């Protein structure tokens, strides 16, 4: 089921989300609905607060562009994107590495605003899965950026919090209208 996407100004987007202690049927159903919602909205990621839930769960799928990464390792072995996408994870932990790269980001919860964001280029992620397993994922490119963006959501941080002061000035009026 396609869910309504929470928009800028809603307080849930600024909450540090609660860990998920138990994966039950409602959590599994929510994950399915989040994937469907992300696809329907043409996004590459969606975090639970974006659909009004303050829990540490997100979905990511960048498989539409296999060239958006230069490498992918899962549990230390080379992997193919189609083996892990769409990626559903709970209670994630990220280690950031590599030089910082700047690229344009947008957000399904902040319509019509895009801005350049500097982020570390490589992510090592510990991603607990709904079945109780844990995958260790390492990648770069759009996947690394999407993981950082979605985990920021779980911590109450929006991409507009990470833009340069000059960019903040340029989007300030638009944000005021949204929020």
Kindly list the catalytic residues: 150
| Residue whose C-alpha is closest to residue 73's, from 146, 140, 138 | 138
Cα(152)–Cα(169) distance, rounded to whole angstroms? 21
Query: For residues 18 and 27, is the Cβ–Cβ distance under 8 A?
Result: no
Buried b / exposed e over 49-88, threshold 16 CB at 10 Å, is: bbbebbbbbbbbbbbeeeebbeebebeeeebebeebbbbb
The C-alpha atoms of residue 77 and residue 79 are separated, in whole angstroms, by 6
For the record, the structure tokens of 46 come out as 């969606």
Q: What are the phi and psi torsion angles at 112 (to 5°)?
A: 65, 20
Q: Which residue's entry shows tokens 């609905």?
A: 33
Q: Which two tokens stand for residue 36?
A: 């469907």
């Amino acid at each position: 089921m396609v869910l309504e996407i929470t928009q800028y100004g809603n307080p849930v987007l600024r909450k540090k989300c609660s860990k998920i202690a138990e994966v039950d049927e409602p959590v599994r159903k929510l994950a399915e609905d989040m994937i469907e919602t992300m696809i329907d909205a043409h996004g590459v990621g969606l975090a639970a607060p974006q659909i009004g839930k303050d829990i540490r769960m997100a979905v990511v799928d960048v498989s539409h562009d296999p060239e958006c990464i230069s490498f992918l390792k899962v549990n230390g072995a080379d992997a193919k994107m189609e083996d892990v996408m769409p990626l559903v994870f709970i209670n994630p932990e990220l280690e950031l590495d590599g030089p910082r790269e700047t690229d344009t980001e947008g957000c399904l919860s902040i319509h019509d605003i895009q801005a350049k964001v500097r982020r570390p280029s490589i992510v090592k992620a510990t991603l607990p899965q709904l079945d109780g397993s844990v995958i260790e994922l390492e990648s770069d490119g759009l996947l690394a950026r999407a993981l950082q963006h979605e985990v920021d959501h779980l911590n109450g941080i929006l991409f507009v919090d990470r833009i340069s002061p000059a960019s903040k000035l340029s989007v300030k009026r638009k944000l005021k209208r949204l929020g």
